[in-house]
Amino acid sequence: MADSAAPRAFPWPVVLFDLDGTLVDSASDIAEAVNRLLAELGHAQVDEATVRSWIGDGARQLITSALQHAGETQTVDAVMPRFLRHYEDCLLLDPQVYPGVQSTLQALQAAGVHMAVCTNKPAQFVPPLLEALGIDGYFDAALGAGDLPERKPHPLPLLHLAEGFGVDIAQCLMVGDSVADAGAAIAAGAPLVLVAYGYRRDFDLHGCGARAVIDRFDQLLELR
Ligand SMILES: O=C(O)COP(=O)(O)O
Ligand SMILES: [Mg+2]
């Protein structure tokens, strides 16, 4: 999409984006990391669809789900360092930006909208992933799990970003795919848009206060 497609009057000066399941499809890489850990622990592999349903609430919850699923008795703390090594090794295997992301971010930037990433992905993996995908230049800030004492669905990361931009949280549109994104936006008082193509299917996308549920990322540009 060319700059001419930039929205003339995008309603919000700031947009806060979730990462996994919203901007980037990283499920196959995360599934590979989980399966490398499960193999080391002597457990059967799990399919990508199952891992997708575990993504969105951070690495601790992901591994809690995986260990429970496998019947593994070791604690999350015991296996987390090994998992994080696998996560790092798999981070850039095959991540994909969703269709329309690049052009939409470009149009929003051209329209003067400020943007940030607000993810529950471990913070150390966020900058290399954004850089590898060539979308790092669109964001003024990126917060991941571990950067602050709380993560989504707590409102703190959103409020912290709004403060950094010097705007009221009501001026910051949150765009995400999961119940953690919805919870954080509602708790913070941020307007919310959900993408319907994301990972979490265990909540009512249409019943949680989002002002829109979009099937394609570029539909963001049509919001009024
Ligand atoms: O690591 C996760 O749980 C995914 O993070 P995100 O959906 O908040 O980007
Ligand atoms: Mg997500």
Q: What is 56-101 written as a DSSP string? A: TS-HHHHHHHHHHHHT--S-HHHHHHHHHHHHHHHTTSS-EEPTTH
Q: How many Cβ atoms sit within 10 Å of the Cβ of residue 198? A: 22
Q: Is 18 annotated as a binding residue?
A: yes
**Structure token digits, residue 117:** 């990433």
Q: What is the pLDDT of residue 172?
A: 98
Beta bridge partners of 55: none
Tokens 């919310």 locate to: 192
Are 121 and 212 in the same domain? yes
Are 21 and 31 in the same domain? no
Q: What is the pLDDT of residue 189?
A: 98
Ligand 1 centre to CA of 199 (Å) is 10
**Structure token digits, residue 131:** 């850089």
Are 123 and 12 in the same domain? yes
Per-residue model confidence as pLDDT tens digits over 136-161: 999 999 999 999 999 999 999 999 99
Are 103 and 158 in the same domain? yes
Last residue of a domain, one of 70, 90, 110: 90
Are 193 and 204 in the same domain? yes
Instruction: Specify the DSSP element, H or E, that contains 212.
Output: strand 212-214
Q: Is 89 a catalytic residue?
A: no
Q: What is the pLDDT of residue 2?
A: 44
Enumerate helices (H) and strands (E) in the chain, giving the number of each: 8, 8
Q: How many domains does the chain have?
A: 2
In one-letter notation, the amino acid at residue 18 is D
Ligand 1 centre to CA of 4 (Å) is 32
Are 191 and 120 in the same domain? yes
Are 105 and 16 in the same domain? yes
Using most ligand atoms within 8 A of CB, pick from 28, 121, 154 the residue to mutate for ligand 1. Answer: 121
Are 22 and 47 in the same domain? no
Q: What share of the chain is helix, strand, coil (3-state, %, to 5)?
A: 45, 15, 40
Name residues of the chain where pLDDT drops below 70. Answer: 1-8
Are 105 and 209 in the same domain? yes
| Domain that residue 119 falls in | 3-26+95-222
Q: Is 20 annotated as a binding residue?
A: yes
